[in-house]
C-alpha cells in the first residue's frame, strides 16, 4: 500500500493544529451515506463471528443540551415518546436477533447504554431497556461489563438501584466542571451541590467503577479553576477520569456563527496547557494514562476492553443514533446535529416497523480496515502491537504507513521503538486529535467534507 501526495499534504495540514478531530469512530458517521438497495441484515451478518459481540443502546434524550454538545440527542421528550422509542427499540432488537440466526451461538462480551442521557429514562423504563437486551438479544448483562452514561440531575437513587441490580459495572457522570461560572459558560446549568449529591448517590449504589468527565478549554478557565475541578473530582476517588478538550462544532449552542477553521490559535495553546496540567496532576495522584482522554486509577478493578472497545468488529447498535459494525460494513440511521432534524429522525424511528435492513452506512475495504486497526491501537497509550497487525493483514504497518509514521517521528510524536510496539510519545498522545485525522483515507476525508451539517 502506498501513500499518495494528497495524503501526505493532508497529514501535514492536520498535524499543524492540535485539536482537529476526536477519533472515537472510524470512518466517522459524516462519511456514511444512504446504502443502495438497503441491504438485509441477515446478508450483512452472514459469515460474521458472533462469539464476542459488543452491544450499544442509544437513548437520544437529555434534560438540557449543553452548549458544546453535538451528540444525537433532543431536549426533553413529549408524553409517551420514551415509551414509543423503547417500543421501536424492542422491534429493532427482535429484527437483529432474527438476522443473526442460530447457526452459531450469539455471545456478547460487553455492553453500553449511551446517548443522550440513558438515565433520562425513568427507573421502570431502564428496567425495560435491560429486559430488551437480555430477553431479545440474549445479552447477560450481569455477566459482562456494562457501562452507562448519566448526568447529575438524572442520577437518582431509584434509577441507580435499577442499574446496580441489573449488573452495571461502570457509571460515567458528565460533570464537565465543578466551577459554577465555567458550567454557565459551557451552557451546562448545574449547581456543585447537586453534582456532589449525585456522586454520593452513585457511591452509595455500589457500582464498581465511577468515571467523571471533565472539560478543559472553557471560556474563563484558568490553571487555578482547572485544578479546583480536578481536586473536586479526585476527592471522590473515581476509578476513571476523562479529560475532554472543549470543541465548538457547527449547529451546537456555542457554535452558532463560529467558523471552526479560523479558531484562535491562542485557544489551542490554552487547551494544551490545561491538558498537560490535568495529565500531570492525575499521574501524580495515582492514575495511569490509557489514552489522551482516559485516565484510570492504578488500583481500579479491570473492566475488559478499554477506550476503543466499541470500535471492534462485531458491534450491535440499537436506537436511532447507534452504529453497528460488521467486518465489511458500518451502518446506522441518518445523522443530524440540528434539533429539528434530530426530532424528525427520532419520530421516523419510532414508527418504523421493518428493522431488517441497513439504511445508512459505509463499506470498510482492506485499506480502511488497516487504517481503522492502526487508529484503534496507536491512539492508546499502550500502542499498536506490530505482530497483531502483521497477523491480521500480512503486512507491516511501518511499510503501509511509512510516510505518516516518519512525519510523526520527525515531530517527536513517536516513542522509541521497542517490544514490538508502535507507541506515541507523551507529546504524541497530547496531539492525538491531530494525529488521528492524518490517517483518514482520501475517500473518507472527501465524504466528510461533502457532508452538509443538518
Return the pLDDT at 302.
Answer: 74
Return the pLDDT at 253.
Answer: 39
Residue 371 has what DSSP assignment? H
Which residues, other chains included, contact 185 with Cβ-Cβ below 8 Å and sequence gap of 6+? 218, 219, 220
pTM for the predicted model, two decimal places: 0.90
Q: Which residues of the chain have pLDDT under 70?
A: 1-16, 63-74, 187, 249-264, 303-313, 454
Transcribe 174-192 into DSSP letters: EEE-S-HHHHHHTT----H
Return the pLDDT at 8.
Answer: 40
- Compute, in degrees rounded to 10, the torsion defined by CA atoms 366, 370, 372, 373: 130
Residue 153 has what DSSP assignment? G
Cα(33)–Cα(360) distance, integer angstroms = 5
Residue 403 has what DSSP assignment? H
Return the pLDDT at 307.
Answer: 43
Return the pLDDT at 293.
Answer: 96
Q: Beta strand 329-332 with 146-150: parallel, antiparallel or unpaired?
A: unpaired
Return the pLDDT at 311.
Answer: 47
> Which three three-digit cell numbers place residue 90?
424492542
Q: Phi/psi at 186 (nearest 5 deg)?
A: -90, 10
Return the pLDDT at 341.
Answer: 83
pLDDT digits (tens, 9 = 90+) for 8-67: 444 545 446 898 888 888 999 899 999 999 999 999 999 999 999 999 999 998 766 554
Return the pLDDT at 186.
Answer: 77
Return the pLDDT at 227.
Answer: 98
Transcribe 77-126 into DSSP letters: --TTHHHHHHHHHHHHHHHHHHHH-SSS---EEEEEEEES-GGGS-HHHH
Check whether the bond before 27 is cis (ω within 30° of 0): yes
Neighbours of 390 (CB within 10 A): 13
Return the pLDDT at 57.
Answer: 96
Return the pLDDT at 254.
Answer: 38
The residue to which cell 461560572 is assigned: 181
Return the pLDDT at 2.
Answer: 37
Which residues, other chains included, contact 209 with Cβ-Cβ below 8 Å and sequence gap of 6+? 169, 170, 171, 239, 240, 300, 301, 303
**Burial of 41 from C-beta contacts in 10 A (0-12 / 13-18 / 19+):** buried
The residue to which cell 452495571 is assigned: 168
Return the pLDDT at 310.
Answer: 42
Alpha carbon 57 to its chain's center: 13
Residue 35 has what DSSP assignment? P
Amino acid at each position: 500500500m502506498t501513500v499518495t501526495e494528497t495524503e501526505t499534504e493532508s497529514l501535514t495540514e492536520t498535524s499543524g493544529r492540535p485539536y482537529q478531530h476526536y477519533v472515537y469512530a472510524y470512518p466517522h458517521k459524516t462519511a456514511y451515506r444512504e446504502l443502495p438497495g438497503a441491504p438485509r441484515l441477515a446478508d450483512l451478518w452472514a459469515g460474521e463471528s458472533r462469539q464476542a459481540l459488543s452491544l450499544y443502546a442509544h437513548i437520544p434524550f437529555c434534560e438540557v443540551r449543553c452548549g458544546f454538545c453535538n451528540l444525537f440527542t433532543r431536549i426533553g421528550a413529549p408524553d409517551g415518546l420514551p415509551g414509543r422509542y423503547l417500543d421501536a427499540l424492542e422491534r429493532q432488537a427482535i429484527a437483529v436477533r432474527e438476522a443473526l440466526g442460530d447457526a452459531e451461538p450469539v455471545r456478547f462480551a460487553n455492553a453500553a447504554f449511551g446517548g443522550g442521557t440513558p438515565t433520562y429514562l425513568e427507573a421502570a423504563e431502564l428496567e425495560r431497556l435491560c429486559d430488551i437486551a437480555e430477553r431479545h438479544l440474549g445479552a447477560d448483562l450481569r455477566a459482562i461489563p456494562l457501562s452507562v452514561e448519566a448526568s447529575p440531575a438524572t442520577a437518582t437513587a431509584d434509577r441507580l438501584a435499577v442499574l446496580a441490580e441489573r449488573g452495571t459495572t461502570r457509571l460515567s457522570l458528565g460533570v464537565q466542571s465543578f466551577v459554577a461560572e465555567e458550567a454557565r459558560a459551557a451552557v451546562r446549568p448545574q449547581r456543585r451541590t447537586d453534582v456532589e449529591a449525585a456522586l454520593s448517590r452513585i457511591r452509595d449504589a455500589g457500582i464498581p467503577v465511577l468515571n467523571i468527565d471533565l472539560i478543559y478549554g472553557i471560556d474563563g478557565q484558568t490553571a487555578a479553576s482547572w485544578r479546583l475541578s480536578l481536586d473536586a473530582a479526585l476527592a471522590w476517588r473515581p476509578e476513571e477520569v476523562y479529560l475532554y478538550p472543549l470543541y465548538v462544532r457547527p449547529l451546537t449552542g456555542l457554535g452558532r456563527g463560529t467558523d471552526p477553521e479560523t479558531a484562535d490559535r491562542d485557544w489551542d495553546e490554552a487547551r494544551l496547557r490545561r491538558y498537560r496540567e490535568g495529565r500531570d496532576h492525575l499521574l501524580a495522584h495515582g492514575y495511569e494514562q490509557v489514552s489522551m482522554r482516559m485516565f484510570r486509577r492504578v488500583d481500579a478493578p479491570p473492566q475488559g476492553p478499554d477506550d476503543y472497545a466499541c470500535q471492534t468488529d462485531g458491534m450491535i447498535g440499537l436506537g436511532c443514533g447507534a452504529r453497528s459494525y460488521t467486518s465489511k460494513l458500518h451502518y446506522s440511521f441518518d445523522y443530524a446535529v440540528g434539533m429539528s432534524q434530530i426530532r424528525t429522525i427520532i419520530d421516523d424511528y419510532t414508527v418504523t416497523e421493518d428493522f431488517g435492513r441497513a439504511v445508512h452506512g459505509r463499506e470498510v475495504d482492506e485499506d480502511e480496515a488497516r487504517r481503522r486497526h492502526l487508529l484503534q491501537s496507536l491512539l492508546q497509550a499502550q500502542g499498536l502491537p506490530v505482530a497483531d497487525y502483521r497477523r491480521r493483514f500480512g503486512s507491516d504497518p511501518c511499510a503501509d504507513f511509512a510516510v505518516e509514521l516518519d512525519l510523526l517521528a520527525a515531530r517527536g510524536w513517536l516513542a522509541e521503538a521497542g517490544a514490538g510496539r508502535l507507541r506515541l510519545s507523551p507529546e504524541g498522545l497530547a496531539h492525538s486529535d491531530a494525529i488521528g485525522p492524518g490517517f483518514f483515507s482520501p475517500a473518507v476525508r472527501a465524504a466528510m467534507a461533502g457532508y452538509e451539517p443538518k
